Homo-oligomer: A and B are copies of this chain.
Amino acid sequence: MKENKYDDPSFFKQYGQMTRSQQGLKGAGEWYILKEMLPNFHGKDVLDMGCGFGWHCRYAIEKGAASVVGIDISEKMLVRASEINLLKGIKYERMALEDAVFPGESFDMIFSSLTLHYIKSYHMLIHNVYQWLRPGGHFVFSVEHPVFTAEGKQSWICDEERNKLYWPVDNYFIEGKRNTIFLGEQVVKYHRTLTTYLHELLKCGFIIKQVQEPVPDSKMLNEMPEMKDELRRPMMMLISVEK
């Protein structure tokens, strides 16, 4: 089954209210690190896998990309993307990542933001990405961190006064489906170990350029006291590799 939770009207509404949905890249806490991991876009052909509202597609074109293809399984996402982030050179196409087919060496840069943990078949997708990239091309992606996805409920263990005691890790090496709660709704995600994330890339022949676990920047930490909890456990992992 391919996950298309984002076409569920109530979930989509919740998602649309997140800071990152409304403000785009500057509303995403990891963006200040992620953007430093991106290559020069000038003249590049770019694929964005799980493009959502198209904020990264817009960014790539604004930074000089020659073309950007944004794919997403959710029709609602792409309707919004076409409304707010459709610049010349961007093409949005509705398809599941698992079904995507492109000729070999079609892109200089492939990008994916917080999407691969919805994908069951990581191995196959990474293999495809390697084929779709030109030699010297870059693949940069963010996923939920294995520490964040392992146990499954994606919530803190709290005491009776709702103080956060610690983040639970369990079933780390039992990869696969997790029934999580996200934005108050049941959402299926897939847990993978760090080993799997990196090993599949290395096996394909990718060179690892960076692995980052982002934390909120100091401004966010100062202005939003609850952000301090983000220093207690990693939530995301950002990976950049080169073909």
Question: Which A residues contact B (CB, under 8 angstroms)?
Answer: 147, 150-151, 157, 165-174, 193-195, 198-199, 202, 207-213, 215, 230-234, 237
Contact = CB atoms under 8 A, between A and B. Distances in A.
27 contacts: A147-B147, A147-B172, A157-B166, A165-B170, A166-B169, A167-B169, A168-B168, A169-B233, A170-B233, A171-B231, A172-B231, A172-B232, A172-B233, A173-B231, A173-B232, A173-B234, A174-B231, A193-B213, A193-B234, A194-B194, A194-B211, A194-B213, A194-B234, A194-B237, A199-B212, A202-B209, A208-B208
Contact of A166 (B168, B195, B202): B168
B167 A170 contact: yes
Nearest to A235: B172
Given A202-B208, A209-B202, A210-B202, A169 B195 contact: no
A166 to B, nearest CB: 4
A25 to B, nearest CB: 21
A200 to B, nearest CB: 12
Contacts of A195: 211-213
A56 B126 CA distance: 35
Given A194-B213, A211-B195, A232 B171 contact: yes
Contacts of A237: 194
Contacts of A231: 171-174
Contacts of A157: 157, 166, 168
A198 B157 CA distance: 29
A226 to B, nearest CB: 15
Given A169-B233, A173-B213, 11 more contacts: A147-B147, A157-B166, A166-B168, A166-B169, A171-B231, A172-B231, A195-B211, A195-B213, A198-B211, A199-B211, A207-B207
A202 B198 CA distance: 14
A237 B213 CA distance: 16
